[in-house]
């Protein structure tokens, strides 16, 4: 007979902020029955067997699920797999991660799979539930901590009047409306929900806008750098500041229902926590930042200490009776965002929190959610809470939209913003747990609110995706190309750089592009920094704003650009910017700057490090997606420079007719991109230090030619040749090929170490016969088939490569340029 040591548990209400019931445990005499239950009007005593920790194994006839540890591993694995499958299935519907997590938790809980009593008792015995619930609460604590680290409270100070008005209206008016509705329905509510403090808590949570939820969903939708996204983040921070004050006021009132002095002690405890974080913890964090060498990550010991401090803050808030998420959030807020401390913390713990701890948290949410308890409670019991929730959601949606329209936000963007500010998520779920703990709602009410959270967030996210396209502003109808810019007009170029290594090559490209007094260049230099360790993107105009000291890498880049401007002051105007944003949305900053400054060309670096030894090639993660998105959405022409460093030799300030220092070659395969490349190369040919060779590829017997494209190509090539016929530094040749193999053979035959730069059009309008058989071997699609070959080790060329793409008129693709594109003009 197996010896079983049961535990008697006394189930009673508790003031713990985790929403669980406390237990009194007493070891009793040895029993032979695995479970005995004794019920009385005062208490329920339950006797359970303790599961073995480590079984011998299935081959010894033991059930592995009898082991608490093995069962815990199975539960975690199951919920993570379910959530990942749901994320995959819901992705086409534009659903955020939080919806998949809620549904995944509900599936394994008593509402779906757990409704089978045998499954639930086998998978979720009481001791395993206890562990899951506590780990889940820790997951929520670390979640709000990480989001707190990313938050920049200075955004509240920088927010404009529009954000202030929208935040105030979107918070105050829904709060008043819900309170009034609750007072009207007060007679139909149960006694706990009908209390004034409970009504206030419900009303404030319905009106509040949760920054952590909004940030995570905007990040998934790639809207952080969009205009609506930036406004929504600033507005949500202001709403949080207003809403949290209301929440703590009602929480104090709730504490004072039994003892009036309890409310005072609650507020004192809250003030002590805030003072402790700001005065002591904040100074300690700043000391860590000051003692970390520039460019280095924070020492691992500090990171571990801060992560332990999260648990300490959670303990203190629970100890004082404050909502348990308050302490970790306060701690996150006093940690300086961005590098070095904020970015190090986020980089080292974000994946663990989001991919492991949060799924465990939603196991706990799924276990607590039971739709069958709603049926048992009945509609009469739940209808007041349901009505308050709907009134809160719809009032916030409508009031926010009306406020946005009132401050002159376009109607479509106003409703998009109202949907964003109506999103629900992790913070709201924590509040619902807190209400259960305070006996404001029970399990039926909690289940109702969880279902409403998933429904509202899923619906709003889908509508946001339908209503708002962040790339729509970049669809311009005016031609912004080098080809359609008169040689006497100013050329506006957006120069993008990720690091100091790319600056020299880009500056050299601008120099050889032949800016003159009659046709000067306006350069808008944009330093791109990946957003890590903070939530809100930054866009800094250095003429108006000072660069934060934490981004010291920009200083060297800006210094190099200013030195070049001073040496070329007569015909070059330079303006510098810095954008700090996620790689996924970095293209929006580039396109927005190009649109606002009316640029005709954006030049991007192709970030690939190349070694001849072994032929190793490494492409920096995320940079290719930036380039591809700019090519797809730019409101002007785009050039991508693959810099191998060999054409960065200095050009004398005074050059004679015969002092050629650089040899460039243009491969003209036809099409709009090739025409753009030819006109840009023609500008370079005006520099007396440049010799240019133009090779035009034609198909044998004109097979595969597009008649219109051929006519445009012939007209532009004729114009180019007539203009440069007497220029000894310009050579023009034609090559006839039958397929892609002959095209590659011709390029290999003309390859020469004397070449410093290859120039080629990307892809639009190229005769497919010239590329026949080559497309399947292309790796870097943003360079085009020929551009990719020129940069590869197969050619063995040491010359840099410039790939050009003419502006894509997305609103009217295929429109014929004015004058059939034969001559560069500025009439379109």
pLDDT tens digits along 256-280: 767 778 778 888 888 888 888 888 8
* pLDDT tops 60 at residue 617: no
Number of neighbours of residue 32 by Cβ within 10 angstroms: 8
Q: Give the chain's largest Cα–Cα span.
A: 109
Higher-pLDDT residue of 255, 20: 255
* pLDDT tops 80 at residue 610: no
Number of neighbours of residue 271 by Cβ within 10 angstroms: 10
Out of 540-544, 568-572, 737-741, least confident range: 568-572
Q: Are 329 and 144 in contact (CB under 8 A)?
A: yes
Angle between helices 126-150 and 326-334 (to 10 degrees): 30
CA distance 782 to 760: 13
The segment with the largest mean pLDDT, out of 223-232, 356-365, 580-589, 651-660, is 356-365
CA distance 124 to 793: 58
Q: What is the mean pLDDT of residues 206-213?
A: 84
CA distance 524 to 577: 7
Helix (H) / strand (E) containing 801: strand 800-805
Out of 21-25, 171-175, 298-302, 615-619, least confident range: 21-25
Q: Return the residue matching tokens 């009945």.
A: 378
Q: Are 178 and 392 in contact (CB under 8 A)?
A: yes
Structure tokens at 187: 């007679």
Q: Give 742-795 pLDDT, tens digit per residue.
A: 888 888 888 777 788 899 998 887 888 888 878 777 788 888 888 888 888 777
Q: Are 8 and 48 in contact (CB under 8 A)?
A: no
CA distance 590 to 623: 13
Structure tokens at 824: 């560069």
Phi, then psi, of 802 in degrees rounded to 5: -120, 120
Beta bridge partners of 525: 495, 576
pTM given for the model: 0.80
Burial 409-428 (b: 16+ CB within 10 A, else e): beeebbbbbbbbbbbbbbbb
- The SS3 assignment for 617 reads strand
Structure tokens at 604: 């991007």
CA distance 17 to 11: 16
CA distance 207 to 364: 26
Nearest C-alpha neighbor of 804 from the set 613, 641, 606: 641
Q: Give 150-175 pLDDT, tens digit per residue.
A: 887 777 777 778 888 998 888 889 88
Long-range contacts for 651-656 (Cβ within 8 Å, ≥24 apart)? 651/511, 651/512, 651/687, 651/689, 652/689, 655/687, 655/688, 655/689, 656/688
Confidence at residue 550, expressed as pLDDT on a 0 to 100 scale: 64
């Amino acid at each position: 007979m197996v010896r079983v040591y049961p535990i008697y548990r006394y189930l009673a209400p508790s003031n713990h902020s985790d929403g669980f019931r406390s237990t009194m445990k007493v070891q009793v005499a040895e029993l032979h029955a695995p479970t005995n239950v004794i019920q009385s009007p005062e208490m329920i005593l339950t006797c359970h067997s303790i599961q073995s920790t480590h079984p011998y194994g299935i081959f010894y006839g033991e059930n592995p699920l009898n082991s608490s540890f093995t069962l815990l591993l199975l539960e975690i694995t199951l919920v993570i797999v379910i959530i990942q499958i749901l994320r995959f299935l819901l992705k086409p519907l534009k659903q955020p991660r939080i919806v998949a997590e809620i549904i995944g938790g509900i599936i394994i809980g008593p509402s779906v799979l757990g409704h089978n009593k045998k499954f639930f008792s086998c998978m979720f015995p009481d001791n395993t539930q206890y562990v899951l619930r506590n780990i889940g609460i820790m997951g929520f604590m670390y979640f709000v901590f990480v989001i707190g680290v990313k938050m920049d409270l200075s955004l509240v100070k920088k927010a404009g009047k529009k954000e202030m008005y929208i935040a105030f209206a979107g918070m105050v008016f829904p709060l008043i409306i819900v309170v009034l509705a609750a007072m009207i329905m007060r007679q139909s509510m149960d006694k706990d929900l009908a209390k004034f403090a409970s009504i206030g808590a419900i009303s404030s949570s319905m009106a509040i806008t949760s920054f952590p939820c909004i940030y995570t969903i905007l990040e998934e939708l790639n809207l952080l750098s969009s205009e609506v996204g930036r406004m929504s983040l600033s507005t949500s921070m202001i709403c949080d500041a207003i809403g949290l004050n209301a929440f703590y006021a009602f929480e104090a009132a709730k504490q004072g229902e039994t003892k009036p002095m309890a409310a005072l002690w609650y507020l004192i405890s809250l003030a002590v926590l805030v003072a402790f974080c700001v005065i002591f913890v904040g100074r300690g964090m700043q000391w860590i930042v000051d003692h970390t060498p520039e460019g280095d990550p924070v020492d691992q010991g500090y990171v571990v200490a801060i992560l332990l401090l999260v648990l300490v803050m959670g303990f203190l808030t629970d100890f004082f009776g404050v909502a348990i998420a308050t302490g970790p959030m306060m701690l996150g807020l006093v940690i300086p965002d961005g590098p070095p401390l904020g970015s190090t913390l986020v980089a080292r713990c974000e994946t663990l929190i989001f991919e492991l701890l949060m799924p465990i948290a939603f196991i706990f949410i799924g276990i607590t959610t039971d739709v069958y308890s709603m049926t048992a409670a009945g509609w009469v019991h739940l209808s007041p809470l349901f009505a308050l929730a709907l009134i809160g959601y719809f009032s916030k949606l409508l009031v926010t939209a009306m406020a946005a329209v009132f401050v002159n936000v376009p109607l479509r963007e106003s409703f998009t913003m109202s949907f964003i500010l109506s999103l629900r998520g992790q913070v709201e779920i924590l509040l619902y747990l807190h209400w259960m703990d305070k006996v404001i709602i029970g399990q039926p009410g909690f289940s109702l609110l969880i279902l409403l959270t998933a429904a509202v967030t899923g619906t709003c996210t889908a509508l946001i995706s339908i209503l708002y396209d962040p790339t729509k502003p970049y669809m311009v109808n005016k031609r912004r190309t080098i080809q359609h810019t008169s040689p006497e007009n100013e050329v506006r170029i957006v120069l993008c750089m990720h690091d100091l290594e790319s600056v020299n090559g880009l500056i050299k490209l601008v120099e050889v592009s032949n800016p003159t007094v009659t046709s000067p260049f306006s350069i808008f230099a944009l330093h791109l920094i990946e957003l890590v360790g903070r939530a809100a993107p930054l866009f800094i105009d250095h003429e108006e704003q000072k660069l934060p000291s934490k981004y010291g890498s920009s200083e060297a880049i800006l210094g190099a650009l200013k030195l070049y401007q001073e040496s070329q002051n007569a015909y070059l105007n330079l303006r510098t910017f810095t954008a700090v944003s996620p790689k996924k949305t970095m293209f929006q900053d580039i396109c927005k700057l190009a649109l606002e400054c009316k640029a005709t060309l954006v030049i991007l670096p192709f970030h690939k490090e190349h070694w001849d030894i072994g032929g190793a090639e490494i492409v920096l993660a995320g940079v290719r997606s930036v380039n591809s998105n700019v090519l797809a959405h730019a409101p002007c022409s785009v050039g991508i420079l693959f810099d191998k460093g060999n054409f960065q030799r200095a050009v004398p300030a005074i050059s004679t007719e015969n002092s050629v220092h650089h040899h460039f070659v243009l491969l003209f395969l036809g099409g709009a991109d090739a025409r753009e490349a030819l006109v840009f190369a023609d500008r370079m040919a005006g520099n007396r230090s440049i010799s240019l060779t133009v090779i035009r590829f034609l198909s044998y017997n004109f097979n595969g030619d597009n008649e219109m494209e051929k006519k445009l190509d012939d007209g532009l090539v004729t114009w180019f040749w007539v203009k440069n016929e007497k220029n000894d530094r310009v050579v023009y040749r034609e090559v006839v090929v039958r397929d892609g193999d002959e095209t590659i053979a011709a390029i290999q035959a003309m390859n020469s170490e004397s070449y410093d730069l290859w120039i080629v059009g990307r892809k639009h309008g190229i005769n497919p016969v010239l590329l026949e058989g080559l497309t399947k071997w292309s790796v870097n699609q943003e360079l085009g088939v020929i551009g990719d070959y020129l940069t590869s080790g197969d050619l063995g060329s040491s010359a840099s490569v410039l790939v050009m793409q003419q502006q894509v008129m997305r609103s009217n693709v295929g429109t014929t340029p004015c004058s059939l594109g034969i001559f560069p003009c500025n009439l379109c």
